[in-house]
Chains A and B, each alone.
Chain A
Amino acid sequence: MRIEAKDITKTFGGFTALRAVNLAVESGELVALLGPSGSGKTTLLRIIAGLEFPDDGAILFDGDDASRRTVRERNVGFVFQHFALFRHMTVFENVAFGLRVKPRTRRLSEADIRARVERLLDLVQLTNFAARYPTQLSGGQRQRVALARSLAVEPSVLLLDEPFGALDAKVRRELRRWLRALHEEMHLTSVFVTHDQDEALELADQVAVMSNGTIEQIGSPQEVYDHPASAYVCEFLGNVNRFDCTIRGGVAVVCDDEFMTVRSPGVVEGSAVAYVRPHDISIYITKAQLGLPAIVRHIAAAGPVAVVELAAEGVQGPVEALLSRTRHRELKLAVGQSVFLRAQAARIYPAERPAVANVE
């Protein structure tokens, strides 16, 4: 099912949660709504579900206006942030709920209900927990019950509100992979809300980055990561180092011309902001050609890459650089050591305006 949100506006009292938001989710896609809390992502999801109604705008399901339909009529599966399992029902009854409340004429026979619930419990690997109550389950198990329950009614759309928010890191990673596999297997159109950029980038086909009730950018994870449309998106997606820079004659001098100069046609002359990702910063022990002097403040080498925190001359706040393990072994860095930095790539934004220049 293709979902389209058209000019959705929603206010709560004096607070504008969404301003004329447009979003299209193609059939079978997995889309992430990514943003900090208060950006309107959950409100948008609830409006798509029919749990909330927009002040203005329309929701289209496969081109049909669904704006007036209630949540009951939209046939969506909704997984709540805190799962909202029925606490007085067993796992089995939770999953069976949607099947049991159907009007008698459309209700499956008891045997068919039983069979379908068992199949779903098998799918979420909870067959042995059918007789348990929600309080007797771990967070990850509850999450899977919530998912099975929403899938029981065979929804055409699956909506998930912070699906992994209440889980610890290890379970989260496992469930993420599992959900991705499930999505591919069931060919559902899915939308999930998250504030975790790693989650969005790893899981989704399309990421919609939200702030202040608007969508800043929509694109594939690689698109939004490599070509952020604004300083905001750039800053929100993963770690970046932020440097003040000046632009003269179409050339940006980042921090110091020793560090980096980039051609940035189109960006207004004057002061601007440059973002450099930690993996785009190289460290040299000796000053071969150019390089910004810096001092190593901290090294965290336990992981796939070494994270080096530095204090650079003339730069406020720490600079973060990532080194491959090999490079880290070569350099043999020590805390307090003097080194030289070069930036390999930077993204230049005029202060608070969309990007024009992108230089690699």
Chain B
Amino acid sequence: MVATSRPHVNSVISEPLWVRLALIALALVFLGLFLMLPLFVVFAEALRGGIGAYVEAFTEPDALAAIRLTLITAAISVPLNIVFGVAAAWAIAKFDFAGKSLLITFIDLPFSVSPVIAGLIYVLLFGAHGWFGPWLVANDVEIIFAVPGIVIATIFVTFPFVARELIPLMQEQGNEEEEAALSLGAGGWQTFRRVTLPNIKWGLIYGVLLCNARAMGEFGAVSVVSGHIRGETNTMPLHVEILYNEYNFTAAFAIASLLALLALVTLVLKTVLEWRYGAELAAARRL
């Protein structure tokens, strides 16, 4: 992940020219076929009906509602996952306690469980016939087929991103700097803000970028809990599916292109950060 400038390739270990060319070509063809081409198709299809139809696809009320809901979901779930992720990584990296490996396994759970099951769990918990269903109905709280359900499902699915990025980093950095800060008279919060946070800054930013991309793009878990109510509980990925099933390809691809754009922006941001702060990043890991 860290951008480093390599020394000039040593001729002893380098392959013959044709091997290098063949390998590069293979990689490029693969990339083009499986990544670039689909991306191109998304934008080509989206713009097939002309700019007018493209813009119209966003400005239509249901599409606007979907975009708004996606932004709200991300705006709630990402900050919460930052807090959870930092707390979990902090606990795992800086303290020894019983059940630590179990906790690490649990953090990975959302990655190993199919998102559909994640959605289903919440239906079983909070749905009308679920464990807490009767109580929720009695108290007039809507979770499933409403915004809270979507947010909860998204939090579940995106939980590991921040924590997983931070745990190895914090484990590698150890406790000594925090101990040094404490011995110099800093309080717990001061130590976190002035020492820990700057040290994990880059890992945290990566984690947040990835977490955000997933929060906006999540389909499976959200699909189960959303109920697909147009203009109310449709996120962008769900809206794409509905449009597609209605043979409204131009609009479907238009919204899809927006999601693709998000992915591209994430990628560009990540690259820019690595390029701009590569030296600082490498330094943070080395000492």
Contacts and interface: CB of A to CB of B under 8 A. Distances in A.
B87 to A, nearest CB: 21
A71 interface: yes
Given A87-B283, A88-B198, A88-B199, A101 B183 contact: no
Contact of B199 (A49, A76, A87, A98): A87
A76 B181 contact: no
A80 B176 contact: yes
B185 A102 contact: yes
B190 interface: yes
Interface string A42-65: 000000011100000000000000
A188 interface: no
Contacts of B280: 88
Contacts of A153: 184-185
Contacts, number: 75
A75 B179 CA distance: 13
Given A87-B284, A135-B283, A101 B179 contact: no
A134 interface: yes
Contacts of B186: 72, 97-98, 101
Contact of A101 (B177, B184, B286): B184
Interface string A74-94: 011110101011111100000
B259 interface: no
Chain B interface, DSSP helix/strand/loop, else mixed: helix
Contact of A87 (B182, B183, B185, B287): B287
Interface in B250-277: none
Contacts of B104: none
Contacts of B187: 72, 101
A82 B176 contact: yes
Overall SS of chain A's interface: loop
B194 A101 contact: yes
B177 A87 contact: yes
Interface in A122-137: 133-135
Contacts of A76: 183
Given A84-B177, A88-B199, 11 more contacts: A71-B183, A72-B186, A75-B185, A78-B183, A82-B176, A86-B181, A87-B284, A89-B198, A97-B181, A97-B194, A102-B185
Interface of A: 49-51, 70-72, 75-78, 80, 82, 84-89, 97-98, 101-102, 133-135, 149-150, 152-153
Interface of B: 176-177, 179-187, 190, 194-195, 198-199, 201, 280, 283-284, 286-287
Q: Closest 3 CB pairs between A and B?
A: A98-B184, A84-B176, A101-B186
